[in-house]
Amino acid sequence: MSDTAVLRRHFGDVSALRERYALAEPFPHIVLDDFLDESTLGRAIDEFPDLDEAQWTNYLHVNERKYANSDLDTWAPILRDIATQLMSDPFVRLVEEITGISDLIADPALDGGGLHTSIAGGYLNVHTDFTSHHVHPTWERRVNLLLYLNRDWDPSYGGDLELWDAQMTRCVTKVAPIANRVVLFTTTPDAFHGHPVPLAAPQGVSRKSLALYYFTESEHAVARPTQYRARPDDGWRRILIAADQQALRAYDVAKRRLGLSDDTASRLLGRLDRSKRRPQG
């Protein structure tokens, strides 16, 4: 596959895309449909791996219920090819042109990224992202790319990506996670986003995406964990959201200082979740 073979179309006037990106509300972003050619898209969806809760990273706590697989070696060849091309120099240069951010660095380690999936009841509370790479502390996180791989997505399932204003007073825009749609956005301390409404998909249907993050080198990168925020109508749940945030902050500090992987925490969270779902009696 050539470096641009996965793309369905040329991007055309990149300057126009850059203007759309810069002017978007509530923070710089752009939504691009028909991203992959149809053959590549079909294979990617068909070969997206089934969820294995014992093997995938379990993000199962108050602020989120999702699963992730960042081990490229376990992916189907077409998914590896797509990720590789989205981390290639030509594509990274394109991301720089659209976002206006120079000297971006792709992350082959997929820190926090990779394949993501959520099943019925899954959600991700509104948040801003962690600010620096866990292995490369001088890498400052700057741009997110989300590619959705959900064929025949019914709006009744929910799962929309919500973009909120900096004051967390309202959701400014929603993006449905339909197949072949890419969302590109700048990560800043007030770029609040998530899909906080629990997924209403039927059994056997999951919300699937590929997430890649781009960084820049910075001597002054500040290490800050993911920052979750309650919505105005979250009521008493804001107490749980805040308490979980404190626990995650402590875990993030330990992870950075001790070089921990997410494997141990994932296994523990997975066991706890499965025990809660186990029929009693």
Q: What is the pLDDT of residue 272?
A: 44
Show the tokens assigned to 132: 């620096």
pLDDT in tens, 47-79: 999 998 778 999 999 999 999 999 999 999 999
Q: What CA–CA distance (Å, rounded) separates 169 from 254?
A: 32
pLDDT at 171 over 60: yes
User: Whose structure tokens read 């960042």?
Assistant: 70
For residue 81, being part of any structural domain is answered with yes
Report the predicted TM-score, pTM, of the whole model to 2 decimal places: 0.90
- pLDDT value at residue 265: 53
Each residue's pLDDT tens digit, 95-142: 999 999 999 999 999 999 999 999 999 999 999 998 988 889 899 999
pLDDT of residue 8: 45
pLDDT band, residue 246 (cuts 50/70/90): confident
Taking the C-alpha atoms of residue 40 and residue 141, their distance in angstroms, rounded to an integer, is 28
> Which of 3-17, 21-35, 42-56, 202-216 is predicted with the least confidence, judged by mean pLDDT?
3-17
Contact 229, 192 (CB under 8 A): yes
Q: In three state form, how does the secondary structure of 247-270 look?
A: HHHHHHHHHHHHCCCCHHHHHHHH
Residue 183 located in a structural domain: yes
**Average pLDDT of the chain?**
88
Specify if 5 maps to a domain: no
Residue 9 belongs to a domain:
no
Any domain includes 219: yes
Percent with pLDDT over 90 in the chain: 73
**Is there a contact between 252 and 183 (Cβ–Cβ < 8 Å)?**
no
Residue 53: exposure state from Cβ atoms within 10 A (0-12, 13-18, ≥19): middle
The residue range of the domain holding 115 is 14-277
Indicate which CATH number applies to the domain containing 76.
Answer: 2.60.120.620
**Contact in structure between 189 and 202 (CB atoms under 8 Å):** no
**Element at 40 (helix H, strand E):** helix 38-46
Cis bond upstream, residue 28 (ω within 30): no
pLDDT at residue number 259: 64
Residue 7 within any structural domain of the chain: no
Give dist(CA 110, CA 152) in Å, integer. 28
What CA–CA distance (Å, rounded) separates 110 from 79?
A: 13
Instruction: Return d(Cα 36, Cα 47) in angstroms, integer.
Output: 15
- Reported confidence tier of residue 18, pLDDT bands at 50, 70, 90: very high
Q: Does any domain span residue 218?
A: yes
Residue 174 lies in a domain: yes
User: What is the number of domains present in the chain?
Assistant: 1
